[in-house]
Amino acid sequence: MFLERNNQGRRRGWVEVICGSMFSGKTEELIRRMKRAEFARQKVEIFKPSIDRRYYEQDVVSHEGTTIRSTPVTASSEILLLATDVEVVGIDEAQFFDEELVNVCNQLANNGIRVIAAGLDMDFTGKPFGVMPGLLAIAEYVTKVHAICMECGELATYSHRTSASKDLVLLGETDHYLPLCRTCFNQAREEKE
């Protein structure tokens, strides 16, 4: 994608959302798009929720180990304060942000900024996760990525929690989650209950 300009010569902004289950490559795709923008000499800034400290406090890191420097924030409103003089804003783990993130993304896009947000579309119970439905509704571009089901090898769209915790937010990797297809997810949920 390239920077579009309207008939008054102002940059056109838009919102892109990358969504899917755990281990589907959401962050890898976000990093790929941000690095391409950097390669094109666009001014970029990437943000993540400050609660995500799984790998590094400052960097966004994919499960594959690809990294990009980011700014951790505690509230989505901070993004507006920090995203000055940029052309592309990346947001990782969007599902962990507050409901104001939808308005923040709209405001950035209305100001001519390309916004790329990545996050889980469903929580571990298979329900829409946090602010993600709102982001999907306002996005001009949506990419749903898939993992591989760890039970049967089909495409996985669900993040099955293997630990006993009932907390909505439980940061983890393969120690707490498995990607599963719909059939295997439903079967695993039945067995757990």
Concerning whether 191 is annotated as a catalytic residue, the answer is: no
Q: Which of 16, 29, 45, 93 is catalytic?
A: 93
Q: What is the DSSP string of the chain?
A: ---EE-TTSPEEPEEEEEEESTTSSHHHHHHHHHHHHHHTT--EEEEEETT--SS-SSEEE-TT--EEE-EEESSTHHHHHH--S-SEEEESSGGGS-TTHHHHHHHHHHTT-EEEEEEESB-TTSSB-TTHHHHHHH-SEEEEE-EE-TTTSSEE-EEEE-SS---S----STTTEEEE-HHHHHHHHHHH-
Distance of alpha carbon 90 from alpha carbon 117, whole angstroms: 6
Known catalytic residues are 93
